[in-house]
């Protein structure tokens, strides 16, 4: 517990694991269980949202808003969900998850990577539970969750080489950019580098055991980790379409690589910027 107290600066720690796998015999289930046991042993309070067991509704629809929508003719989910959130008119399953999120200091998303993304049920959780943040003025480094941390922990069905910068699926850092920047960083989360379990299904029992032990060790030492770097909101000019400010462009003009994966400034991508913390 002491490690987490020192890192986050709070007396009591709460962790939310958003978990998406149907089988309790899966490697994802083992990774989830390892996280629960390790974090609990350190004095953290850990809550798991088991999305399949909960039969969590993935589709973001008007059913998420009680009492009817304000503008049915020109329905906008982001606008309506923001109003419903402010007026306490969200569906009960969304309210319950938002309460868990509000109390959590760290959120871990545990899932198998499907089609280079999260499973539909987890994307539905993000759409519905985080949906109200999309219409907020506070975002990115000024986002409403700027005092919370989050991380992705996931399995793949292929070796690491497939997601390399010369692999057929392309650089994993590019794959992760929409998730880690477009969702987590957008909401304000400070994002730990992801925990990636490369192709555990075809590995030996010993290799899977080693992966889980590495995960436990990382969780025990998470307090010492920095988070992934994202350009702060004040680097961008709101009045000019949120483009990089001239002084920022000038500052980084002589750098060999771009600022981040997405904001690369026409330069080579910074190596491992989504898979390793910038120290």
Domains, the chain, with CATH or none: 14-227 (3.40.50.360)
Residue with tokens 């709070």: 10
Cα–Cα dist 116/38, whole Å: 28
Strand 14-19, strand 45-50: pairing:
parallel
Residue 11 clears pLDDT 50, i.e. is over it: no
Using one digit for the tens of pLDDT, what is the confidence trace for 222-278? 988 999 999 999 999 999 999 999 999 999 999 999 999 999 999 999 999 999 998
The whole-number pLDDT of residue 132 equals: 87
Residue 1 clears pLDDT 60, i.e. is over it: no
The whole-number pLDDT of residue 137 equals: 81
Which pTM does this prediction carry?
Answer: 0.94
Cβ atoms of 18 and 202 within 8 Å: the answer is no
Using one digit for the tens of pLDDT, what is the confidence trace for 186-223? 999 999 999 999 999 999 999 999 999 999 999 999 98
Percent of the chain at pLDDT above 70? 95
Using one digit for the tens of pLDDT, what is the confidence trace for 83-126? 999 999 999 999 999 999 999 999 999 999 999 999 999 999 99
Mean pLDDT of the chain: 93
Cα–Cα dist 134/230, whole Å: 18
């Amino acid at each position: 517990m002491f490690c987490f107290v020192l890192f986050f600066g709070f007396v009591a720690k709460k962790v939310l694991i958003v978990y998406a796998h149907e089988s309790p015999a899966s490697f994802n289930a083992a990774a989830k269980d390892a996280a629960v046991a390790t974090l609990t042993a350190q004095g953290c309070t850990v809550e798991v949202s088991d999305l399949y067991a909960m039969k969590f509704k993935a589709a973001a629809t008007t059913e998420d808003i009680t009492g009817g929508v304000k503008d049915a003719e020109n329905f906008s989910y982001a606008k309506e969900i923001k109003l419903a959130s402010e007026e306490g008119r969200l569906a009960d399953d969304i309210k319950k998850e938002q309460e868990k999120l509000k109390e959590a200091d760290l959120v871990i998303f545990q899932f198998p990577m499907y089609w280079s993304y999260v499973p539909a049920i987890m994307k539905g959780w993000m759409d519905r539970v985080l949906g109200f943040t999309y219409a907020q003025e506070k975002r990115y480094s000024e986002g409403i969750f700027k005092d919370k941390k989050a991380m992705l922990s996931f399995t793949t069905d292929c070796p690491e080489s497939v997601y390399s910068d010369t692999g057929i699926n392309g650089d994993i850092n590019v794959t992760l950019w929409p998730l880690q920047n477009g969702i987590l960083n957008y909401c304000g989360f400070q994002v730990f580098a992801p925990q990636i379990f490369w192709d555990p299904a075809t590995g030996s029992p010993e290799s899977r055991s080693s992966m889980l032990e590495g995960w436990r060790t990382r969780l025990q030492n998470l307090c010492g980790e920095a988070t992934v770097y994202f350009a702060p909101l004040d680097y961008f000019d709101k009045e000019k379409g949120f483009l990089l400010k001239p002084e920022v462009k000038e500052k980084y003009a002589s750098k060999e690589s771009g600022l981040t994966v997405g904001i690369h400034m026409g330069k080579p991508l910074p190596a491992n910027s989504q898979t390793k913390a910038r120290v």
